[in-house]
Amino acid sequence: MSSPLSFVHPTADSPWGTYLSQVDRVMPYLGHLARWGETLKRPKRTLIVDIPIELDDGTVAHFEGYRVQHNMSRGPGKGGVRYHPDVTLEEVMALSAWMTVKTAAVNLPYGGAKGGIRVDPSKLSMKELERMTRRYTSEIGIIIGPQQDIPAPDVNTNGQIMAWMMDTYSMNVGGTATGVVTGKPIHLGGSLGRVKATGRGVFVTGREAARRIGMPLDGARVAVQGFGNVGSSAAELFAQAGAKIVAVQDHTGTIVNSNGMDLAELMPVLKRDGGVGNFKGAERIDNEAFWDVKCDILIPAALEGQIDAKRAERITAKLVLEGANGPTVPSADDILADRGVLVVPDVICNAGGVTVSYFEWVQDFSSFFWSEDEINVRLDKIMVDALKKIWDTADRHKISLRTATFAVACERILMAREERGLYP
């Protein structure tokens, strides 16, 4: 699979290769707009930065950081920042492209962007983490801003990281710019409901999908891979709806309980240990055995590329809700479709986070803040309406929900591109 960027050589199942394949599949449904299709395969801007910091022991360490702005035809860039030892430019390119599609799928006035630093943050002290975050923010400060590109939390980043980013940017521009990032602490212009928003979106789209295929949530068996903000928030909402959380996997191990886990007991363990591995109310099993657990709903909410062709053959669920970005490779997508497994794709399923980030951005501009109930009502309506349009598109063309989401989103993106024209 060729890449428009000569220094990126994706494989078919790599993040960027997966994205390019998804774009190729949607081209037949774009009509005259397909002439602009190459736009979707070329990031508008890629920035690679060196991040030197002084460690606590006096030595100087260098980290590699990225910020990619994929497409800004519909508005400023929007997308998270992740700190992970496996971060690469290719991964960040794919994540930024999925953000372009995601924001268009729920019709937010944004383009797609993403950032990351190749680092294991658990090996840094808080002071080192702060120095790295501030230096990274200064380095990418030339392309971010409240109306240029608005970062947010992602893997291994949180409200505190966003507070440092906001403060650094504000110091550099000489005024408080709360709207430069979202996912901030509440008292720094953050929004109520933001932390659980992505997980809530997974639940809302999952509830609608289950209703469409006639699957009652009461008693449904749910398996969750990844138990951070997204996976744990979605699990709590499914449990409140009567579902049983029968399996959980995170970086500390895999636990199962066919009768359903008591989340009131599990959540304190998660908070104490940063993982579920030591939970006593479930049996510990081998990580690979997670994919064989009998369940009705599977929520991959960890990293990309988790469901490959071999695992797709083993999954027992009838409904897959993509809480993570890019968890299913194209070959696995086809296998799941052949087996009659419904996949609600990441670009709509986990769009709750960016939707409430949008609410936060709007509230920061107006300096007027909404209640959590108002946030949740508005989030639910946007997610349900977006999914309905996507489902109607899927039914009309007899295509998967993923291709239908890309069709709806890419039509909006390329229409904006066409109407804006080419400059100069």
Query: How far is it, in rounded angstroms, from Cα 71 to Cα 100?
Result: 6
- CB atoms near residue 357 (< 10 Å): 27
Each residue of 107-129: b (16+ CB within 10 Å) or e? bbebbbbbbbbbbebeebeeebb
Q: Please measure the distance between the N-terminal and C-terminal CA atoms of the chain and give it in whole angstroms.
A: 31
182, HSE (Cβ side, Cα atoms, 13 Å):
28
Cα angle 404, 406, 407 (rounded to 5 degrees) comes to: 60
Torsion sign (Cα): 182, 140, 144, 406:
negative
The verdict on whether 271 is a catalytic residue reads no
Kindly report each contact of residues 211-217 with a partner whose C-beta sits within 8 Å and lies 24 or more positions away, as own/partner.
Answer: 212/391, 213/318, 213/319, 213/342, 215/296, 215/297, 215/318, 215/319, 217/241, 217/242, 217/243
DSSP 3-state of 316: coil
Pairing of strands 60-71, 45-54: antiparallel
Cβ-contact 41, 101 below 8 angstroms: no
Helix (H) or strand (E) holding 172: helix 159-173
Give me 360's structure tokens. 């936060």
Of 102, 114, 184, 318, catalytic: 114
Backbone angles phi, psi at 66, to 5 degrees: -140, 150
Q: Is 308 exposed, middle or buried (0-12, 13-18, 19+ CB in 10 A)?
A: middle
Catalytic residues: 114
